[in-house]
Amino acid sequence: MSVDKEEAHQRLKAAVHYTVSRICQKMGEDYRREFSRQVIAAIAETAVRQCDIFAKDLEAFARQQIECLICLYLFQSIYIQNKSEELNQEQRDLKKKSTGKRKSRDTEEEESRQ
Amino acid sequence: MAERDAEIGFKKETVSKLLSSFFKEDKTRRKCTYPTDCLMMHLLICCLIFPEAAVRSQKQAESEDCDQVDIEHFEKILPQLLLDF
């Protein structure tokens, strides 16, 4: 059973490797620079590891739910968790800028009235 | 040519099987469903990351004036790539 699983996993890895190699080949043709085999293997391995990390995160989040259902909300929350702080910071900056502009406009209007 | 370009990409079934093979618990594996919208989003992310990795490696090789993209170039761009995605 475990041998079958291992074989299936290897096949999936091979599929990812094939797709990545095609992407790299296309890029190489576009930019006229070939990719070495090691690079293609490294990118494919990175892809598989990313999937591994993602699956583990999803499983950990799903365990907390009453229904063991991975919904889009969960997916987004995992993907966005690291970005949320950056987004908040950006929003704060935008607010500051807009309030700053308003203040400057108000002061200009007051000065013109005077 | 355009048709050939459109064909390059990860298959939905491959990504789905790959993800479900990484679920550790049998309970989760049995019960968890992976909806299509989720899968499409993951597919989209996969389709974004790897061309991005290839382009960044290309640019690194270009800045170092090399004819071939080597593993060193990929090693240089990898930390920032993983931080970005």
pLDDT digits (tens, 9 = 90+) for A39-87: 999 999 998 898 888 888 877 776 666 555 556 666 666 666 656 566 5
Q: Determine the Cα–Cα distance for residues A51 and A57; give it in Å rounded to an integer.
A: 10
Residues 6+ apart with CB under 8 A from A20: A40, A43, A44, A47, B50
Looking at the predicted structure, is the pLDDT value of residue B1 above 50?
A: no
The closest alpha carbon to A24, from B15, B71, B53, belongs to B53
The answer to whether residue B10 neighbours chain A at the CB level (below 8 Å) is yes
Whether B49 sits inside 8 A of A50 (CB atoms) is: yes
The answer to whether residue B26 neighbours chain A at the CB level (below 8 Å) is no
Inter-chain CB pairs, A–B, below 8 Å: 126
Option in A28, A62, A79 nearest B32 (CB): A62
* Tokens 């949320």 sit on residue: A84
**What was the pLDDT predicted at B59?**
92
**Are A45 and A98 part of one and the same domain?**
no
Residues 6+ apart with CB under 8 A from B19: A51, A54, A55, A58, B34, B42
Identify whether the C-beta of residue B83 lies closer than 8 Å to the C-beta of residue A86.
no
**Are A49 and A105 part of one and the same domain?**
no
Q: Which domain holds residue A57?
A: 2-81
Q: What mean pLDDT comes out for the span B31-39?
A: 66
Report the domain count for chain A: 2
Is the CATH code 1.10.3470 the one for domain B2-84?
no
Q: Determine the Cα–Cα distance for residues B83 and B78; give it in Å rounded to an integer.
A: 9
Q: Determine the Cα–Cα distance for residues B3 and A91; give it in Å rounded to an integer.
A: 41
Residues 63-82 of A with CB under 8 A from B: 63, 68-72, 75-76, 79
Q: Minimal Cα distance from B29: which residue of A?
A: A59
Q: Determine the Cα–Cα distance for residues A88 and A74; give it in Å rounded to an integer.
A: 20
Q: Minimal Cα distance from B14: which residue of A?
A: A12
**Are A61 and A104 part of one and the same domain?**
no
Looking at the predicted structure, is the pLDDT value of residue B39 above 70?
A: yes
